[in-house]
Amino acid sequence: MMMVPVSLTDQLMPGTLEYAIHRLIEERIDTSSFDAAYANDERGRSAYDPKVLLKVVLFGYSRGILHSRRIERACKENITFIALACGQAPDHSTVAAFVSSMGQEQIVDLFTQVLLVCEEEGLLGGTHFSLDGLKLSSNASKEWSGKHSDLKKKHVNLRKKVTEAIAEHQQADRHGNDPDGQRREQRIKRLEQKADRIEKFLAQNEPKTGKRGKEIQSNVTDKDSAKMTTSHGVVQGYNANAVVDGQHQVIVHAEVFGDGTDSTAMAPLLEGTRRNLEAIGKEAPLKDKIVSADTGYFSTTNLQACEDAQVDAYVPDPKFRERDVRFADAKRHRRPTDKHKLKYKTKSRFSNDDFHFDDALGKLICPAGNALYIKNRNFSTKDGYESIAYQAPAKICRACPLRAKCLQNPDSKYGRQIHYKKDQRPGSLIDQMREKIDTQLGRKTYGKRLAIVEPVFGNIRACKGMDRFTLRGKLKVNLQWMLYCLVHNLGKIAATPAYAPAA
């Protein structure tokens, strides 16, 4: 037997993340908003200090320990967890309840308090903000997804299986001794629970509608989540977005969306960033500041949000690399069998993206520089969308040198006609952004985005292991995503001189 004395204080060494977590929560972070829920009454055991629970949760997340049972085990076996918990061992139900019961105001307050420490330690530059999104799986199964019509069919099939299983069980009972009777009863119970779950979901929830007005798939397990295509396949989860300061890669705002696209995410992300920075004492924190984002955020809605927020935005369109002379011979390096790259090939026929709107003339301009007139302001497409129909004069198209590349039928006697949805009408913001991103300054400024925001997601997902959500519902998942981003910011603070070992 070997007995070794252990000093819990000495386990928290300066310069480590656990040391920064301990010092910040004990000395800097105000956790009084949690005290009411953890106050002791006259009977029962003493309640755990919220500071202890917060420390073990944050440190657990930093080690990729996302489940409460594993955090409970670590508090009994891992000496660093024991030191942070002051020798206490909160059970998994206490840890789970602490996380899931956090309110939106509480997590925002914690986030801004840590952001204030980042500001005091000189980690915020406040001149260039870059944003991006990461699609992470949630605590939901994609097999429980479908339109309401699909879920109704699944419900009918489950009821049918229940009836068949009961009949099979009754037939086995008639023959006397049934060794599989208990197993059959358990199967019937599981099938009934699944059928009841779908029936309850259909009764309490309306069909989910997408941005185009059509029904999209709902999920019985987590109605706020969505199916999303990632480089690792299709996942059922959330699109986790973050706004990152360019100086030391500190996250200034974090928010999740139950939508795989980023075409409308700019407005809430900029508004959340403004609130957080104003909460730490900054005035007009976004005005004239640089904001960069990838092509997924290129939309009229997002560009208008940047205009309203008065930021200097750099959001390239999907074809900006094709216009960049530096990538002129990039295609020769692609393998002919690389199907993933084939979708970036230039189309032979001009699309809507090749037309632009001239504010001075108030008209739509074609690639040849000619103006189109509005043929119908209330045009309905085959899909039922309200659109605006533009058409070029036939005599202009007849003599146009780009006729073969513009018209589907070059021998047509009519001019080119295109349609724009009313909420996607081309405007000067799109044209201005294309011109801006094609300049030398635009490419140089946008080029900084990769170094600002991508390492942040690499740290969260690959280094820290926070690569999925364990909660359900947008409110709770958003809370957990903010905790993930909080851990990232704490890592930045841990590397500052104030929390580093003495020289």
pLDDT digits (tens, 9 = 90+) for 392-411: 998 889 889 888 888 888 78
Alpha-helical regions (H) of 424-473: 428-437, 440-447, 449-458
Q: Which of 104-108, 178-182, 460-464 has the lowest mean pLDDT?
A: 178-182
Q: Which of 88-97, 107-116, 242-251, 403-412 has the lowest mean pLDDT?
A: 403-412
Q: Which of 39-43, 86-90, 112-116, 395-399 has the lowest mean pLDDT?
A: 39-43
Is the pLDDT score of 439 beyond 60? Answer: yes
Banded pLDDT at 389 (limits 50, 70, 90): confident
Pairwise pLDDT comparison (351 vs 155), residue with the higher score:
155
Greatest mean pLDDT among 29-38, 168-177, 320-329, 473-482 lies in 473-482
Is-above-0.85 flag for pTM?
Answer: no
Banded pLDDT at 344 (limits 50, 70, 90): very low
Is the pLDDT score of 55 beyond 50? Answer: yes
Span 83-108, average pLDDT: 92
Is the pLDDT score of 320 beyond 80? Answer: yes
Say if residues 364 and 355 touch (Cβ distance below 8 Å). yes
Report pLDDT for 179.
74
Span 353-370, average pLDDT: 79
Report pLDDT for 335.
54
pLDDT digits (tens, 9 = 90+) for 123-166: 999 999 999 999 999 999 888 999 999 999 999 999 999 999 88
Q: In angstroms, how far is CA 355 from the centroid of its own chain?
A: 31
Question: DSSP label at 221?
Answer: S
Q: In whole angstroms, what is the distance from residue 181 CA to residue 169 CA?
A: 7
Question: CATH assignment of 128-138+225-320+438-489?
Answer: 3.30.420.10
- List all residues 6 or more positions away from 10 whose beta carbon is below 8 Å from its beta carbon: none
Q: For residue 243, what are the β-bridge partners?
A: 131, 253
Is the pLDDT score of 313 beyond 50? Answer: yes
Greatest mean pLDDT among 36-40, 274-278, 352-356 lies in 274-278
Is the pLDDT score of 358 beyond 90? Answer: no
